[in-house]
A and B are shown apart, each in its own frame.
Chain A
Amino acid sequence: MGDISRRHFVKSAGVAGVALWLGLTAKGAAGKRSTLAAAKNFTPFILIESNGQITLYNIKPEMGQGTYQSIPALIAEEFEVSLDQVIIKNTGGEKEFGNGQRAGGSTSVRGSYNEMRKVGAAAKAVFITAASTKWQVAENTCYAEYGKVIHRPTGKSAGYSELIEEASKIDLPKEPKLKDAKDFKIIGKQAHRPDIPIKTNGSAVFGIDVQLPDMVYASIERCPVIGGTLKSFEATEALKMPGVIKVDKVERIVGIYSFIGVAVIANSYWAATQARKKLKITWDTKGYETYNSADYDAYLWKHANEEGMVDKNIGSIDTVKTSPQNTIDADYETPVIAHHTLEPMVCVAKVTGDEVEIWSSNQVPNLITGAGDNDIPALTGFKPENVKYHNMFIGGGFGRRLYYDYIVEAVNVAKLIDRPVKTLWSREDTTKKGPWRMMTFSKMSGTLGDDGKLIAFRHKVIGPNFHESLFKTFDKTRLDPSMVEGIGTQDYQIPNLRTAYVKTDSHLPGAAFRSVVSSTICFPHESFVDEMAHKAGKDPMEFRLNMVAQTSDTWKLLQKLRELSNWDKPLAKNKGRGVAQWKFFGCQLGYVVEVAHDPVTGMIKIDKVTALIDLGVVVNPDNVKNQIEGAVIMSISAATKPGITFKNGVVEQSNFYDNPVPRINETPQIDVHILADGGRMKGVGEPGVPPFAPALANAIFAATGKRFRKMPFDLQVN
C-alpha cells in the first residue's frame, strides 16, 4: 500500500485478531464469515474486529454525490452503529464486492436501500442473539444501540466486538426484521458526511493524489485531429530535456476507437509536459481533417426529414387536421459539451510481470477488474485476477468517469517502465480529447384542438448515438431507447403522439453526461410544451396540469411546485417565470425559474430557482439539496455556456478561458424542496439537470418574448 495507507480508503488492511465479516451471499441472503479467504460467492459489507474496530464497506464510488455517507448509513441504521464510530472503506472492484461497484443512472441509494438495510438488520440480530445466549437471558429483553447490545432489565452491555466468538456460531436470520421508518436515527435526518472533514483540510486522497515510492510521471501527446493516427515520431529533443526517462507510443481505447499517442515519461510531471512540447510527431489525419461543426450541423438537419426509428406512435397522428392557426413546427439544437470534471483524467499504474496494480478515480470499478471483453483486463492483456485496483475519491464524475480510456492508456504507459507511473491529463487534454456529451437536434410539431388542448405532438430526435461509439456490438437496426429517453413517457395525455430517432453517423467518441440524453432532449420537449401553451393562450402551468391525470406523479409534483414557487403571484414588469418538469430513469423533478430582464443592458438575470424533487424516501435530505443546487449550476453551464466545436477536425476550445463554466457570481437563489411521502424511492444525482434549461428558456420567454430554441442561450436579450 505504500505511503498512502495512512488514509482510510481501501480494504485489505491487516485484520486485528479475531474478526467477523457480515454481508450477502450470491443469492442475496445475509451471511457471515470468520475469514474472508474462505468466502465464496459472499460479499462482506461489515467487518467487526476484536479490537473494537467496525468497518463498513461502501461499494458505490464517491464522486461528490454522497455515497460515502448514504450507503454506509443504510447499513448503520439497521446495525445500530453511528457513522462516527466506524471506518468507511471505498471498494475498488474486488471480486467479492461484485458487480454493484459502479455509480451511474442515479441508482446508488435506491438500488442499495433494501439490501444494505437487510445486511445491517441481520448483523444486529446475530449480535442480539449472541448476547442473550452468552448472558442466558431472553432475546426480547436485549436491544442494540451504538455498536453494543444492551440487556434492558439490568443495563448490562457488550460491544459487538466482544461478541464475535458467540456471533460466529449463530445463523443469520433469512428475513431480518427492518425498522419502521419512524424509528430511523440516520435515514432521513440531517447528517454530516464523513468525507467532508478530509475535504476541508487537504487530506482526502483523490486519484491525482496517489503517491508511491519511486513513482514517475507521464504526459501524453495525442493527435489533435480526432480520428487521426500516429505515423511517426521523433523524440531526440524531448529525450535531451532534463528529467526525461522514456518516450514511446501508447494506445488509448475509448469505446470502439483505438487512438495512438506518444507518452513522455519523466521524473516529474512538469518535466514530462516540457519535454512533450519538444516531440516531433507526424500524424495521419486523412479523412478526419475536414470535419467541421457547422457542416455536421447541416448534415443533421439534412437528415431531419427522414422518418427515423419510431418509438411511441399513439393515436393516428398523420390524420390530425392541422392549420397554421393551431400548429407550431419548431427546430431545436443542443451542442456537444465537455464534462470538465475539475480533477482531470489521471491514473497511477505499476506493472510487475503479468500483474498490474492500478490507482485511479472512476465510476465503474467493477469493470476495471471485470472479466468482460470490454473491461480493463481484456483491453490491456492482463488476467482479471492479476489486476488489482484501488478506487480513490473522485474529483467529479458527471458521466465522464463511466469510461476508463485513461486507465487503459495509463496501464499501457506503465508497461513501458518498471516503476509506478502517474499519467495525468492536462485541462487542455480533457477538453480536446473527449469523450464528450454529443449533441441532439429535435424536430418538434404540435397541434391544438378546438378546446386549446394539445391533440398531436411529434418529437423527433436527430443525432449521433454515443452507444454506437462505445460498443462494437451496437445494433444499428434497432432503436436505442436511450435516445428517446423520457420523450414518450411523460404523464401528459396527448391523444396523438409520435416520438422517433434519426441516427446519424459520427466518428467522435461520445459519452454519457449527467442525465444522459435527457440532458439534451428535455429542453426541446418542455420548451415546446410551453410554446404550445402560449399558442393556446393558456398559462403554462395550467396547460400542463390540464394534460395530466389528477392521480399522476406529475399532477402531484406540479401542484406542489405551483404553491412553493408562488406561481400565481404576479411578477413585476420585465420579470418572468418558467416551469418545466421531467420524469425519466424512474426519477422526477420540476423547476420554476424566475428571471429579470434589464431592458437597458439587455441582460437576463436568474433571480430565483425553485426545485421540487420527488423522492418517495429520502436518506440524507441536506445532501439531496446540495445535489440539486449543484445540478442547477451545472445546468446553467450546459444551457448558457458555449459548447465544444470542431474546425478541421480539431476541437476549437482548450481550457476554462474559452470553454467557461459558471462561477460564484452567476449563482442565483436556489430553493430546493423534497417530496418524500413514502412512495416509490427515486434517484437524486441526475434529475436536477434535464428540466432546468427549458424552465429557464420558458422564463426568458415570459420576461422578454424571446424564445430560445438553441443552446447556448445568449443571456443578453435586446
Chain B
Amino acid sequence: MTARRFISPAILCVVPFFVVFAAFQLAPLVFVAINAFRVGDGWGLAHFQEIIASAFYRQAMWRTLEIAIVSSLVGIVIAVLTCYSLTRLGGRWRRLLIAFTNMTSNFAGVPLAFAFIILLGANGALTLALQRIGLFEDFSLYSRSGLMIIYTWFQVPLGVLLLLPAFGALRAEWRESASLLGAGRHDYWRYIGLPVLWPSIAGTLTILLANAVGTYATVFALVGNNYNLMTIRIANLVAGDLFLQPELASALSLLLVGLLATITLVQQRLLRRSHHVTDH
C-alpha cells in the first residue's frame, strides 16, 4: 500500500520536533506543576498556604494584577483611538506609522528600560524639561507610576498591531448607509463600529493582560528586585543570591499560570455573552 509506505517515514520526520518541544516546553511546566506540591519528602499544599499567608507575596500578586489591569485598559483605549486615527490617515502616512508601530513593538526588555532611563530617569531629558516648567516634581521612573508609564508604552504598539486588522474589516459602506439613514458619527460608533469591533477588542485586551502579567525583563532591568511583582519573586526564588526555594517558586509559578488561564476564561465567557447580545 502506498499510503502505508508514506506514513512511516513521515511520522519519523515529525518526531524530533515533538521530542524537543516536550523536553523544553512541556516538561518544565509539568515539572513546575508537580514540584509545587512537593513539601520536604512528602506532598501537600504548604507552599500555597505560605504564599497566601504572607503579606509580601500577597502584595506581589496585587501589584501584578494592578499594573496589568491599569496598563492594559489604558493601553487598549489608546490603541483603539490610534487605530481609528490610522484608518483615517492618508495612505503614505498610514504605512509609515504602521511600520513605525511595528518597529516600536520590537523594542522591548533591557533596551527599552535603558531608553526610559535616558528619557525619564532622575537626570532624564524629559524629566529635566518637565521639572523646569514645574511639572513632575516628585516623579520617579523607578516607582509604581514610572512602571505604569513604561508598561503602557509597550502595550500600545502591541494593541495597535493586533487591532488594526479588525478596523480594516469595518466597511466604508456601513458608515455611508448609517449616515444615509440619519445616524451621526456618535451613533455609528455606538451601534455599528464598536459592537463589530468588540470581540477583537476583548481578545486584544486578554493578550495585553497576559503580556503585562508575564513581563519580567523590563522591570528587572529597571529596578532589579526592588519592585514586588510575581515574576520578580519567582525569578528571585530560583536564581537569586540567597535562599533558593525552587518548590516555592513552582507554587508561585503555578498561581501565575492559573491567573493567565483565568483571564482567558473570563474573556471567552464575556465574548460568548456578547455574541448573544449581537444575535438578538
Co-complex (A, B):
no
